[in-house]
Structure 1
Amino acid sequence: MADDAVQRESMEYDLVIVGGGPAGLSAAIRFKQLADAAGEDLSVVVIEKGGEIGAHILSGVVMDPVGLDKLIPGWRERDDRPLKTEVTGDKFKFLGPNGEADISWLPMPGFMKNHGNYTGSLANVARWLGQEAENLGVEVFPGFAASDLVLGENGEVKGIVAGVMGIAADGSHKSDYEPGMELLGKYVLFAEGARGSLTKQLIAK
């Protein structure tokens, strides 16, 4: 947990989101959409450890567009849309030592059918969502890893510590040590993915 002896600057937001992937960015966009619709000017920050949005995302994707349809209606008509190639059919083959056999005629479960989905780059989808979020006033900070939790007196999550630099492998401070900054939020959303270090701390706690 955050070292109380270290003096850090802090910034306060209504919502702090850890992780600049599709989930974190979509949450930021939706939060701002709802706030704007209610006439409220609420602050949102997204921090991403990658040097740029999309840097840590595997490229290939076959994506059901239903989420994008709800989040950003009309995205399909935009020239800058991140997904342009629609799946028009599926083919299933059984591969064996003697070759292949087309088994597309067999009844397949619905989740294996991709007709109407889109193929493309998930990294590009994330970059596009990042720009959409910034257009709505979300502060997006790539290149800032979240290194610690900020907890309140009762163990509640108040925020995170980001931008700490100059920590040696044994935990000691090197000559270029920077203590980072506390990003405090009324709400803190963890969208780090399957290997999120702060999420693991929270689960353990």
Structure 2
Amino acid sequence: MMAGFDFQELISAFIVLFAVLDIIGAIPIILDLKQKGRSVNALKATLIALALLLGFFFAGDMMLKLFQVDIASFAIAGSVVLFLMALEMILDIEIFKNTGPIQEATLVPLVFPLLAGAGSFTTLLSLRAEYASINIILALLLNMGWVYIVLKMTDRIERILGKGGIYVVRKFFGIILLAIAARLFTANATSLIEQFQMIK
């Protein structure tokens, strides 16, 4: 795997993270929070989520080694999480329930689990199995810039897209996420099978 910058890898990683973070799909949730009087600080939410995601991106390897899990195995686990998230988006069902006790909207549920949750954590480490770190980090920074813009312009974006537009965007990225999950699973399952055959 090349360690340098690759535009195609950057775009691929950007699309994967864009679909997983799904900030457009989260607009109805954000608007609902605002209507309930729970304030959302766009800059604070973006910076905290970025710090958590970068922290997990760099320290995730150590955590995996601690539990004796390799990246290919984690990528397969990540592909299952992505698959379930895609089903949520396509079928309008709730698989990952947020039942936490904290009532502060910027941190919960916006930063965790909407932005920096199980899906985005597993995705970052899953991407490391395929792409150079620099491309993933740049893709993450671009996505967090986009997240900040969307959070600042939530009301305007809802007016532009309308409820129907948001619904269509969510479905579209749900299908993309499903395809990504399938590719991630097959690529890393093949890698694991080859490793087992070499051991034999």
**TM value normalised by structure 2:** 0.23
* Larger strand share, 1 or 2: 1
TM-score by length of 1: 0.23
